[in-house]
Structure 1
Amino acid sequence: MTRKKSRREEPLDYAELARLLPTPGDPHLSLDRHLLLEEHLMSEIQRTAPASAPAPARRPARRVLLIGVPVAAALAGAFAFTALTNSGGTGPATATPPPVEAPVVRIEPGSTARLASTVERIAAAASAGKTPEPGPGQYIYIKSKVSYLLESHTDADDSRTLVEPLHIREVWNSPDGKQGWLDEPGYKPKGGVTLDSDVEPSLGAASYDYLKTLPTDPDALLKKIYKETKGQGNSPDQEAFTTVGDLLAEQLAPAKLNVALYRAAAKIPGVVVVDHAKDAAGREGIALAHVDQKSGDRTEWIFDPKTYAYLGSRAVQVKQADGIKPGTVINWTAVLERAVVDARKQRPGAQGTRV
């Protein structure tokens, strides 16, 4: 994408001096050099962070920005980077994999023709499914394959959209949301980081216990979502859709609430059905989708076309914006396992109950 440059008018007193000096260059660093400088900056941030600072629960970020800013002309091309990430923890960071070019897919048109019937099939599947009740001392375990957008704001190359390579992300959360763990090799310190938190649960930081208090009437639920997310996101409708999607991704919701969430989502203006979509694991599915009119991307929740079980999500750019071309996949997820386990860091097995 293009980063516009600005140059202030030079005072007349400096005109003669400017003619005597050589023309300043406009050097560019390679992408590898940019990433090296960013990695160095992040290691310095982690090294100086307070040892007791807890890592907050992450709401998957739409974008991670690498912003190149000229420090001084005398540095001849050196850049300082500000990385807006959701990294947490204070342990030694693992080597971050280099970004890859974002995949590009054909944009499948959406339709409201089968919205009501599709949502009812999804709701029926959610209602029929057996959801285990996590008890005290247990944890909700979610294993996903994910990739999120990286925007590289440099003058060296504004034609490429970079994303994280697909990688595994594992999350453990206690039912009350006060204890948890996140393991995301390459993006979090080796061994993982704590998600322990004293933050009061809310729609933006939901716990299983909190979800049990939400209304299961779709109209009442949607009204609450709009009220509590007012002023957030690019539009009220997009933020409501995003909020429901976040509850589907890395959480375990009671069956009745799951049904209400899907039926509430169908009432959001602009929601459509996309007949063909793939999750991050390559599984084909049918999707409920909504376009963010400001950023130009379409968020898709993908379901198995036969069982209507939730598979994952995808965000596809449908109109050019911020230099991102239509068809570009900017976010991609797939839920691989969802279970209740008896201890933090424990993976499903003999002691775990898969969902």
Structure 2
Amino acid sequence: MIRKKPRREESPDHAEPARLLPAPGDPHLWLDRHLLLEEHLMHEIRSTVSAPVPASSRRPARRLLLIGVPVTAAALAGAFAFTALTNSEGGGPAAATPPPVAAPVVRVEPGSTARLASTVEHIAAAASAGTTPGPGPGQYVYIKSEVSYLSVSHTDADDSMAMVQPLHIREVWNSPDGKQGWLDEPGYKPKGGITLDTNVEPTLGGASYDYLRTLPTDPDVLLKKIYEETEGQGNSPDQEAFTTVGDLLGEELVPAKLSAALYRAAAKIPGVVVVDHAQDGAGREGIALAHVDQKGGDRTEWIFDPGTYAYLGSRAVQVKQADGIRPGTVINRTAVLERTVVDAQKQRPGAQGTRA
């Protein structure tokens, strides 16, 4: 959103005294930075109220909160303190939002298409053999992840340091039709979680298990549909197609045949490569399918177990200098810890069926 700088207006009664006073000193932050910081804070306030969340807002990826906005340490601390005070449901205070930490920096390993076809076939075969049963009436898809996303690209104190959220747990429950759901992300959502109930019809950008069952399993037909539904979104058609598939892998239960088709379709996206060594948010080593966002300069990596080819999680690594973020910076990490079906919303897997 483009914000115009506010024009200061003074009444005639105050105009003359104002001219007689000395010029005010420079503010600690430039006005455009104040506006962007203010806009970020207002976004945080709006995102944590207890209103129903439309399906399209469920996608957790690409959380670049203050990209390209250098801020001082004091301003950054103030932003998170203010967010903590407003991150509540029903008017009460929530647990304080953890302060950001320095983003990890890794060696950028080159990707290759040499083993793309064979790797994708291994991954697709593993997906086809998936045994997780689909949810029935009254049941919920439950996904528990460990996640960390970018907070700011760099600070005034160190313009080479990006800050990210500390790794933390995120749990999602969704009904088969996608109309009822719950999200619990302590420290980043109000205490106890927020509702994901919605009347919005499912789409690729906000899918449900029932919706996914209707999608074609022919990779060419499926990829065409993905491009058509995401036209005009993202930084490029190829990047948006890759991101859309990745979103489905992260917080959906995808039927086995469709899962295999998604991987085969993704392999047809120009620019997709294999990265031999990658690490998910839980520190698990794996092999990755990856694609570079040419505008943002970051490479999104889907990480798979090198032995079983099961999906582990994802990572985004900066490969080109952009927005003040240096190459090798890990700007987000996820790890899927559990993906299953439970009998009730807020119920966690286990012998006792514990509730959130």
TM-score above 0.5: yes
Deviation at 1:64, TM superposition (A): 3.8
1:223 and 1:248 map into 2 onto residues whose CA distance is 18
Alignment-derived partner of residue 173 in structure 1? 174
Unaligned runs of 5+ in 1: 1-16, 30-35, 71-76
Alignment-derived partner of residue 148 in structure 1? 149
Kept in 1: contact 2:61–2:247 (CA 8 A): no
Output the amino acid matched with 2:146: K
1:132 equivalent in alignment to 2:130:
no
Unaligned runs of 5+ in 2: 1-17, 31-36
TM-score by length of 1: 0.81
Kept in 2: contact 1:69–1:79 (CA 8 A): no
1:326 and 1:114 map into 2 onto residues whose CA distance is 25
Output the amino acid matched with 2:340: A
The C-alpha deviation readout for 1:86-142, integer Å capped at 9, x for no partner, is x89556432100000100011011000000000000011111121302101000000
Alignment-derived partner of residue 322 in structure 2? 321
Superposition pairs of residues 53-72 of structure 1, within 5 angstroms: 53-57=51-55, 58-66=58-66
- Give aligned-pair identity as a percent: 76
RMSD across aligned C-alpha pairs, in angstroms? 3.4
Structure 1's 291 and 136: CA in aligned 2 closer, same or farther, altered over 3 A? Answer: same
2:201 and 2:114 map into 1 onto residues whose CA distance is 40
Paired positions, count: 319
Alignment-derived partner of residue 241 in structure 1? 242
1:277 and 1:129 map into 2 onto residues whose CA distance is 23
Alignment-derived partner of residue 341 in structure 2? 340
Structure 1's 37 and 264: CA in aligned 2 closer, same or farther, altered over 3 A? Answer: closer
Superposition pairs of residues 25-36 of structure 1, within 5 angstroms: 25-27=26-28
Is the partner of 1:299 in helix, strand or coil? strand
Kept in 2: contact 1:55–1:88 (CA 8 A): no
Output the amino acid matched with 2:60: P
Alignment-derived partner of residue 189 in structure 2? 188
2:115 and 2:77 map into 1 onto residues whose CA distance is 51
Kept in 1: contact 2:275–2:289 (CA 8 A): yes
Kept in 2: contact 1:317–1:324 (CA 8 A): yes
Is the partner of 1:227 in helix, strand or coil? helix
Output the amino acid matched with 1:175: P
Deviation at 1:54, TM superposition (A): 1.1
The C-alpha deviation readout for 1:6-56, integer Å capped at 9, x for no partner, is xxxxxxxxxxx99x9468345359xxxxxx999986897689x5x6x2134
Output the amino acid matched with 1:131: T
Alignment-derived partner of residue 303 in structure 1? 304
Superposition pairs of residues 202-281 of structure 1, within 5 angstroms: 202-281=203-282
Output the amino acid matched with 2:53: A
The C-alpha deviation readout for 1:252-289, integer Å capped at 9, x for no partner, is 01100001000000000000000000000000000000
Alignment-derived partner of residue 159 in structure 2? 158
2:299 and 2:90 map into 1 onto residues whose CA distance is 35
Kept in 1: contact 2:289–2:302 (CA 8 A): yes
Kept in 2: contact 1:41–1:81 (CA 8 A): no
Alignment-derived partner of residue 115 in structure 2? 114
2:260 and 2:89 map into 1 onto residues whose CA distance is 36
Structure 1's 78 and 223: CA in aligned 2 closer, same or farther, altered over 3 A? Answer: closer
Is the partner of 1:145 in helix, strand or coil? strand
Alignment-derived partner of residue 24 in structure 1? 25
Structure 1's 129 and 41: CA in aligned 2 closer, same or farther, altered over 3 A? Answer: closer
Output the amino acid matched with 1:276: H
2:184 and 2:248 map into 1 onto residues whose CA distance is 19
2:327 and 2:158 map into 1 onto residues whose CA distance is 18
Structure 1's 89 and 60: CA in aligned 2 closer, same or farther, altered over 3 A? Answer: farther
Deviation at 1:65, TM superposition (A): 2.6
Is the partner of 1:122 in helix, strand or coil? helix
Could you tell which deviates more after superposition, 87-96 or 210-219? Answer: 87-96
1:351 and 1:38 map into 2 onto residues whose CA distance is 44
Output the amino acid matched with 1:62: R
Output the amino acid matched with 1:309: A
Structure 1's 180 and 317: CA in aligned 2 closer, same or farther, altered over 3 A? Answer: same
Kept in 2: contact 1:69–1:80 (CA 8 A): no
Higher strand share: 1
Deviation at 1:349, TM superposition (A): 1.5
Kept in 2: contact 1:123–1:263 (CA 8 A): yes
